[in-house]
Chain A
Amino acid sequence: MVAENLSAAIVVENMSKSYPTTDGSIQILDNINFRAEQSESVAIVGVSGSGKSTLLALLAGLDLPTSGSVTIYGTSLSAANEDARAALRNKYIGFVFQQFHLLPNLNALENVALPLELRGDTNANEHALAVLEQVGLTSRIRHFPRQLSGGEQQRVAIARAYCSRPKILFADEPTGNLDSATAARIIDLLFLLNSEYATALILVTHDEKVAARCARRVRLVDRHLEAD
C-alpha cells in the first residue's frame, strides 16, 4: 500500500474542511478520500458552491485541511510549511485558472517562463518559447495580456502550466470565461498536451461535456465525493 501511495500522483485520506464563522463552523468537505494516478485525467464535477474550488485548493496545497491528509508523490502537504508547499508546487504542479491569472506587467513569453525562472532555470526563455510554439502563439510572444484575446490569454496560461513539465495539472473551470468555440479549442489543447506530457490532469468543471473527456469523473455532492 505504501509503495502504491508513493507512485500515486495524489492521495487524499479522510480529509475534511470546515471554516469558522461567527455562527459556529461551516463544514465544506467531509471525509474525502481520493486518489489520482500518474497521467490519469480526473474531472471533479459539482454544482456551483458545492466546494469544488475548495477541494482543488486543498489538493494543490494552497490551503490546509481541517483534518485528514493530502500526499503528493509521497510527500504529505499537511506536514510541510508554507514555503515547502510552494517548493513542492513548483516541482510537481501546474495550474490553469478560469481568470487566466497572467501577470499584467509581463508579456506572453515572460509569463510562460515564470515558473522556470522561480526555479532558477537559466534556459527558461528557450523552454517557454518551445511551449508557446506548441500552443500556436509564436507571433504573440511579446504581447502583454491586455493585448491578447481571452482565448489567447488562456493559451498562454496553458503554456505556462506545461512549461515547467509538471506531473500534475490542476485546471479550475478553464473555459468558464470563454465563448463556446474558443472553449472547445482550449479543451482540445489541454488534453493534447496532457497526453503528450503524460501529466495527471485534475479538472474542476461544472460542464458535463468537458468532464466527459476525462478518463474518470468524481462528483461533489453534499460535502462528499462520489464516483460518477
Chain B
Amino acid sequence: MLQFVFRPALRAFRRDLTDRSFLIIGTAVIIAVASVSAVDMFTDRVRTALVQQSSALLAADLAVISNDQLTASYAQQARSLKLKSTAILAMRSVVTFGEKFQLVELKAVNDGYPLRGELLVADAAFETPTRSNAIPTPGTAWVEARLLGLIGAKVGDQISIGSADLTIAKVLVLEPDRGGDLFNIAPRAMINGADVERTALIAPGSRVHYSLLVAGPRPAVEQFKKQLNLKIGDRILSPEDARPEIRAALRRAEQFLGLATLTTIMLAGAAIALAARSFSTRHRNTVALLRTLGATRQYVMRYFLIEILLLGVVTALIGAAVGIGCQEIIARALAGWTQTDLPPPAFASALSAALRALLALMGFALPQLMKLREVPPLRVLRSDTDAMPVKKSSVIIYATAGILLIAPWRDGDPQLTLWSLFGLLISIGLLIVVSIGTIKIVARSHSQNNLVWRFGIANIARRGILTVIQITALGLGLMALLVLGIVRNDLLDNWSSSLPADAPNQFLINIQNEEISPLRNFLARHALSRPQFYPMVRARLTAINDRPITQESYRDPRARRLAEREFNLSEATTLKPRNVIIAGEWWDPNTSQTQFSVEQDIAKTLGVSVGDSLSYRVAEKNIKGEVTSLRAVQWESMEVNFFVEVSPVTLNELPATYITSFRLDPENLTVLRELVENFPSVTIIDVAALIEHIRAIMDRSAAAIEFVFLFTLVAGILVLIAAIQATQDERVFESALLKTLGASRALTLRIMSAEFIAIGFISGAIAGGMALVSGWFIATQVLEISYSANFSVIAIGIAIGTASTVGVGSVAVFNALRHPAATVLRYRD
C-alpha cells in the first residue's frame, strides 16, 4: 500500500511547495533546526575548548595526586596506553639569600612539563615574558618576580633551598597549573626534579604533594581513569573547573542562548501549528474528493503524513546545513572567545537537531492531520459538512511533546526549559482569557461607531474562536520578541556596566594595618585611584551546626577541597556593590553578634543555608556564628569579593591583613617595581590578562546573542504571518462579497484595515503588558540581573502589532480585490 501512496504524496509535496501554509511550515522547521543546531554546535565547541583550556590550568588532561610517593605502576599504565606523563612534586620550603629568608611554594618538575598549557619566563623582573619549551636545568631555579622583590635578589644570584645551592636562571611569569586561590599562595620557586634529592628536604613527615600528570587522546585518558587502581590516599584531579569569573560570564551567555533558542523553537512551533491548521483547512476538499473516489482514512493519513514528512526531511536538512554554516560564522566572528582554538564542530548534533525537529513537527502537525483524515466524503456535495474540531487537549499534549523533544535540554539547565514551558502555557492561557474578554467588550460597544469601524469590529466579534486564535498567536509572537528584546538589552547593558573600562586589574594582598596609610599615599602620588582596604583573616571551617567538618564529610571534589583549605574571612558593615542578598537578610551594622553571609555557590557546595551555624578556627581562636544571609556575587566585576563575610567587630583582635585593588594602565607597569621596592611584604597579583579574557568573552557573547536573536526574530515574524494567514481566506472571501454588494475597493480595504488595526492593537497591548512581567521574571529570577520596567514596551507592542497586521493583511486583501469577485466566490473553499 505504501508505494501506492508514496508517489501521489511525493507529487503533492512538489505541488504544495507554492502553498503559503506549506511554506510557512517548512520555513519554521528550517529556522528551528538552524537555531538549535547552530547554538548546540557552537556551545559544544566552546565547552570542549574550555575543557581543553582547563586542562591547561592543570597542565595536563588528568593528574593523580597524593601526599605519599606515587607508585610507579601509574606511570607504567600511562605508558602502556601511549599517554604522555610526567611527575611533579610540590612542597613549602624556605629560600635563603644572604641574610634573607622567604617561604616559597617549591615545585620540582621533570622533562615534558607542562603537558598542557605553556610556561612564560622573562630574563629579568617585569620584562616582557617569552614562551619556554624547557624546564629549569639541574642546578638552576626559576622564581617569581615577587620573590626577587622580597629577598632583594636578581637573575644570576645564587640562592639556597634546603641544602642545595641553585642559580636563579629566569623569572617565572606564568605556569599553567598555578591554580588554586590567587590570593593564598607564597611566591613560587621552580627547580628541576633531579635536584630534589640534593635539597634533602624530603624527610619522613614532611608535607609533600606528589603528582603524576597525564595527557593524550580523550578515549585513552578515559581508559586510564577507568583502569586506574588507586591506592588509598591517592586521588584524581580532572580539568573541570575554570575560574569562577569566566564560568559566571559563560553561564549567563549559555543561559541566554538557551532561552533564545527555546523561544525560537516555541515560536516556530506556534507557526507550524497555525500553518498546519490553515493547511488542513485548505485541503478538506481534497480529502473529501479522495474519499469519494475510494481512498480509505488510512490512505488519507499516510498521504499527508508522507507529504509532511517529506517537507520535514528536506527542510530539516536545509536547517541543519544553515545551522552548520551559522555556527561557523559565529565561531569565526567570535574567534578568540577561548584562549585555545575552537575544536571542530560535532556535525552529529546538527543531525540530531534535524531528527528531533522532525519528531517535533509531527507533534505540531499531527492533530491537524488526524482531523483531516476524518473529513467526510459527503463534503463534495454539502460544503458545510466537516470533521469534528480537533480537541484542544490533544493539540496541547502533542505540541508540548513536540517542544520537549527539540528543547535544548543539553545546553541550558533543564529548570530554565521547564520554567519557560510553564511560562509559555501561562502566557497562552492569559492571552486566550484576555482576548475572549476583549472580544466580548468590543462586541457590546460597537454600535456607536461609524460604518468602517462597525464592520471591522463586528468582524472581530463575529469570527469568535478564529479571532481568539489570531490574537493569541500574534500576542505570543510579539511577546516573545519584546521579552527577548528587553532582556537582551538589559543583559548586554548589565554586562558592560559590570565590568567597567576602569575595572581594577591589580590586587594587593598581605597589607599590614600600619601599611595602609603609606600605601594610600603611594597610590595617590602616582595618580592612581583611591582604593578601599578590606580586612581579611585566614580561617579554617571546623564545623557546620556543631558537626565537625573534614574532607571525608563530602563526596563532591570541590567541597572536599574547600573543607581542606583555609578561607579568607572578611569583615563588612554594609553589602558590597553588585552583591545581591538571595536569602535571609543583611545584618544590622551595629550588631554585636557574630553573623555570616555566604556566597550562594559555595553555600550550595558545602550544604549551608540560612540559619545554620558555622565554626571557624582563626589562629588560636574559635569563632562561631549564624548564617544570616546568602549572597549572589557578580564575580566578573573583578571587584574585591569574599566567599564568606562576617559581621563587624568579630575580627577585632584577630591577625588581619588587608586587601585592596586598583586600576593600572599597561604603560605604567614600572609603578609595580617601585611598589615592590617600597612595600616588600605586600604581594601584587596582576589580573590584567584575566580581565581582558573576561571582557573578550562578554563582547563576543554579546555578538553571539545578537546573532541567535536574529533566528528568534525571523521565527516571531513567521508566527505573525501565520497568524494573519489563519483568517486570510475568510477575509478574501468577505472582501469579494463586499465588492459584489457595491462597496468600493477603498471602502473594503478600510473595513479590513479597521479589523487589522483592532486585532493588532489588542494583541500588541496584551503582549506588551505580559512582556513587562516576563522580562522582569527572566531578568531577576533567571539571569539574576537588575531590571527596570520600561512601559514604552506596551506602546512598542501596539505599534509593531498594528503595523504588522495591517501591513501583511492589507497586501493579501489588496491582491484578492484585484481578482473578479465571482472567481473568488466560486472557488471558495
Contact = CB atoms under 8 A, between A and B. Distances in A.
Given A53-B382, A83-B297, A117-B4, A62 B292 contact: yes
B377 A62 contact: yes
Contacts of B378: 57, 62-63
B285 A101 contact: yes
A103 B294 contact: no
B410 interface: no
A56 interface: yes
Contacts of B15: 105-106
Among B291, B295, B381, chain A packs the most CB atoms within 10 A around the CB of: B381
Nearest to B16: A105
A225 B6 CA distance: 44
A119 B294 contact: yes
A95 B296 contact: no
Nearest to B383: A99
Given A86-B377, A105-B12, A120 B293 contact: no
Q: Is the interface of A mostly helix, strand, loop or mixed?
A: helix
Given A101-B285, A106-B11, A106-B15, A120 B296 contact: no
B290 interface: yes
A91 B381 contact: no
A89 B297 contact: no
Given A95-B293, A105-B16, A118 B381 contact: no
Interface in A40-94: 53, 56-57, 60, 62-63, 82-83, 86-87, 89-91
Nearest to A160: B293
A89 B292 contact: yes
A103 B4 CA distance: 18
Interface residues of A, number: 27
Interface in B3-53: 4, 7-8, 11-12, 15-16
B12 A90 contact: no
A10 B531 CA distance: 103
Interface in B483-505: none
Given A82-B297, A89-B293, A117 B377 contact: no
Contacts of B1: 120
B381 A57 contact: yes
Interface string B668-690: 00000000000000000000000
B789 to A, nearest CB: 51
A162 interface: no
Contact of A115 (B11, B12, B294): B294
Contact of B289 (A53, A103, A119, A172): A103
B298 interface: yes
Contact of A101 (B12, B294, B299, B380): B380
Contacts of B299: 118
A172 B296 CA distance: 23
B510 interface: no
B374 to A, nearest CB: 9
Interface in B285-322: 285-286, 289-299
Given A62-B377, A115-B294, A172-B381, A110 B289 contact: no
A95 B291 CA distance: 12
A106 B297 CA distance: 20
B8 A117 contact: yes
B733 to A, nearest CB: 16
A119 B285 CA distance: 20
Nearest to B1: A120
A115 B293 CA distance: 6
A89 B294 contact: yes
A101 B15 CA distance: 17
Contacts of A95: 292-293, 380
B286 A103 contact: yes
Contact of A86 (B11, B294, B381): B294
A87 B296 contact: yes
B420 to A, nearest CB: 39
A186 interface: no
Contacts of A63: 376, 378
Interface string B84-122: 000000000000000000000000000000000000000
A131 to B, nearest CB: 15
B377 A101 contact: no
Contact of A56 (B291, B293, B381): B381
A60 B381 CA distance: 11
Contacts of A158: none
Given A105-B16, A120-B1, A87 B294 contact: yes
Contact of B293 (A53, A105, A118): A118
A100 to B, nearest CB: 10
A53 B297 contact: no
Among A60, A82, A101, A120, chain B packs the most CB atoms within 10 A around the CB of: A101
A53 B377 CA distance: 13
A118 B292 contact: no
B298 A118 contact: no
Nearest to B14: A105
Given A57-B381, A105-B12, A91 B294 contact: yes
A118 B296 CA distance: 9
Contacts of A60: 292
Given A82-B297, A83-B297, A87-B294, 19 more contacts: A53-B381, A56-B381, A57-B382, A60-B292, A62-B378, A63-B378, A86-B377, A89-B292, A95-B380, A97-B381, A103-B286, A106-B11, A106-B15, A114-B290, A117-B7, A117-B8, A118-B290, A120-B1, A120-B4
21 contacts: A53-B381, A57-B378, A62-B381, A82-B297, A83-B296, A83-B298, A86-B377, A89-B294, A89-B377, A90-B295, A101-B285, A101-B289, A103-B286, A103-B289, A105-B15, A106-B15, A114-B290, A117-B4, A117-B7, A120-B1, A120-B4
The 6 closest A-B pairs by CB, nearest first: A90-B294, A105-B15, A83-B296, A120-B4, A62-B378, A115-B293
